């Protein structure tokens, strides 16, 4: 399986900080307000995107997440977030930024809204036909809508309403993720948007793996909302939650729906295969003086670590399988 990691396309994920305003009970990253206010430096992020851009295996997808990335406005510099987004977009990448939108009622909102508008407007086509759905950018904001995120319905509503009512000449996608048990929150959200005067049109799209369908909602043709739900993974604080899904093995071949590997950098000098669940396969990306290793060495190291973890897992299971066979034989002998 490690050969998959060596051969498949990959996407870059930057868990820019492990700090967060929230302290959600289900947080797979154990993020929260007591964690260090530490961020992956802008130069390191740009350096890895630049190196990846000349690698044909890079699928040109970049995810910026946390913790809560927008806390960089408070603790790093007000340009950190727009700078890394613009850099990745300018390098021809699709960008997904994940936020809990916990800032929508704070003074930060004006700045963040303005930055997102600038990112979108800068890339809008100069002429647009009123008859067509607006040009869609390879830029996505991901939100969570579930019982665990504080005030999620109200925060999502405020964020989405703002952009649904803002004509920027181009649209961007908002991805909402949830859990099966909380599906009803989406209808509440759409209902609220409708009542607030947002025109909601539903469609169904064929996902990139060409095997599954997802509902999408066009909001005033300014925003496209895509909704998905999944399991609650047993990792971080989610370990304390009943029914969290325990991933049985390390994610030797963690793949996205497009069959790309996720290569995720965090603030603790770790780069892991996969993003947020299961036993992690990890390598380091800084040398002892804090200088980042070249991307290709990091990827090679990740492949090597995956290979070793895979061998160990197979060996353990071989021993376990032998023990099970022996137990069965003994059982057969004594039951005769
Ligand atoms: S789940 Fe998200 S919002 Fe909640 S603590 Fe973790 S990073 Fe913060």
Q: Tens digits of per-residue pLDDT, 2-14? A: 555 566 788 999 9
Q: For the residues 233-244, what does the mean pLDDT come to?
A: 80
Q: What pLDDT is recorded for position 181?
A: 86
15-50 burial, b at 16+ Cβ within 10 Å, e below that, comes to: bbbbbbbbebebbbbbbbeebeebbbebebbeebbe
For residue 277, pLDDT over 80 is answered with no
Q: What pLDDT is recorded for position 205?
A: 79
What share of the chain has pLDDT > 90, as a percent? Answer: 60
Q: For the residues 124-135, what does the mean pLDDT come to?
A: 64
92-112 burial, b at 16+ Cβ within 10 Å, e below that, comes to: ebbbbbbbbbbbbeeebbebb
Distance (Å) from CA 87 to ligand 1 centroid? 25
The larger pLDDT score, comparing residue 333 to residue 324, is at 333
- The domain locations on the chain are 2-335
Compute the C-alpha angle 261/6/230, nearest 5°: 20
191-219 burial, b at 16+ Cβ within 10 Å, e below that, comes to: ebbeeeebeeeeeeeeeeeeeeeeebbbb
Of 28-37, 96-105, 129-138, the one with minimum mean pLDDT is: 129-138
The pLDDT confidence band at residue 23, using thresholds 50, 70 and 90, is very high
Euclidean distance between CA atoms 104 and 79, whole angstroms? 18
Q: What pLDDT is recorded for position 127?
A: 64
Distance (Å) from CA 161 to ligand 1 centroid? 22
Q: What pLDDT is recorded for position 244?
A: 78
Distance (Å) from CA 17 to ligand 1 centroid? 11
Q: What pLDDT is recorded for position 255?
A: 46
Which atom of ligand 1 is closest in space to residue 100's alpha carbon? 3
For residue 125, pLDDT over 90 is answered with no
Residues with CB under 6 Å of ligand 1 are 20, 22-24, 27, 29, 31-32, 66-68, 100, 149
Q: For the residues 27-47, what does the mean pLDDT come to?
A: 95
Q: Nearest-CA neighbor of 136 among 151, 120, 152?
A: 120
Bridge partner residues of 213 (DSSP): 206
- Computed over every residue of the chain, the mean pLDDT equals 87
Distance (Å) from CA 318 to ligand 1 centroid? 38
For residue 88, pLDDT over 70 is answered with yes
Q: What pLDDT is recorded for position 58?
A: 94
Q: What's the length of the chain?
A: 336
Q: For the residues 46-56, what does the mean pLDDT come to?
A: 97
Phi-psi region of 270 (alpha: psi -120 to 50; beta: other; left: phi over 0): beta
Which atom of ligand 1 is closest in space to residue 98's alpha carbon? 2
In this structure, is the dihedral angle defined by the CA atoms of residues 322, 324, 325 and 326, taken in order, positive or negative? positive
For residue 176, pLDDT over 80 is answered with yes
What share of the chain has pLDDT > 70, as a percent? Answer: 87
State which of 196-200, 249-253, 300-304 shows the largest mean pLDDT: 196-200
Which atom of ligand 1 is closest in space to residue 65's alpha carbon? 7
Distance (Å) from CA 38 to ligand 1 centroid? 16
Distance (Å) from CA 67 to ligand 1 centroid? 6
Euclidean distance between CA atoms 144 and 102, whole angstroms? 11
205-230: pLDDT as tens digits: 777 666 677 789 999 989 999 998 87
Which atom of ligand 1 is closest in space to residue 102's alpha carbon? 3
For residue 1, pLDDT over 50 is answered with no
Ligand 1 pocket mutation, candidates 67, 179, 244, criterion most atoms within 8 A of CB: 67
What is the third-level CATH fold of 2-335?
Answer: TIM Barrel (3.20.20)
Which atom of ligand 1 is closest in space to residue 21's alpha carbon? 8
Q: For the residues 153-165, what does the mean pLDDT come to?
A: 97
């Amino acid at each position: 399986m490690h050969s998959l990691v060596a051969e498949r396309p990959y996407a870059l994920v930057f868990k820019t900080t492990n700090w967060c305003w929230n302290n959600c009970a289900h947080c797979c990253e154990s993020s929260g307000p007591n964690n260090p206010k530490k961020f992956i430096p802008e130069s390191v992020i740009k350096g890895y995107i630049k190196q990846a851009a000349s690698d044909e295996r890079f699928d040109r997808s970049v995810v910026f997440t946390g913790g809560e990335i927008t806390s960089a406005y408070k603790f790093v510099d007000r340009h950190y977030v727009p700078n890394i987004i613009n850099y990745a977009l300018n390098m021809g990448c699709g960008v997904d930024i994940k936020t809990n939108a916990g800032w929508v009622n704070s003074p930060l909102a004006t700045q963040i809204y303005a930055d997102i508008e600038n990112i979108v407007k800068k890339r809008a086509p100069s002429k647009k036909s009123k008859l067509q759905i607006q040009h869609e950018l390879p830029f996505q904001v991901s939100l969570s809508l579930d019982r665990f995120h504080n005030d999620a319905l109200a925060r999502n509503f405020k964020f989405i309403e703002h952009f649904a009512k803002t004509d920027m000449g181009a649209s961007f996608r908002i991805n909402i993720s949830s859990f099966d048990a909380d599906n009803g929150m989406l209808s509440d959200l759409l209902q609220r948007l409708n009542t607030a005067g947002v025109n909601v049109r539903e469609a169904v799209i064929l996902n990139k793996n060409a095997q599954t369908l997802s509902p999408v909602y066009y909001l005033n043709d300014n925003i496209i909302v895509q909704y998905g739900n999944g399991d609650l993974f047993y990792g971080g604080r989610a370990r304390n939650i009943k029914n969290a899904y325990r991933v049985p093995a390390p994610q030797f071949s963690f793949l996205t729906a497009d069959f790309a590997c996720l290569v995720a950098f965090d603030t603790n000098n770790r780069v892991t295969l996969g993003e947020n669940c299961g036993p992690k396969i990890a390598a380091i990306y800084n040398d002892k003086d804090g200088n980042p290793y070249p991307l290709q060495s990091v990827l090679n190291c990740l492949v090597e670590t995956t290979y070793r973890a895979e061998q160990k897992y197979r060996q353990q299971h071989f021993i376990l399988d032998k023990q099970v066979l022996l137990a069965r034989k003994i059982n057969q002998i004594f039951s005769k």
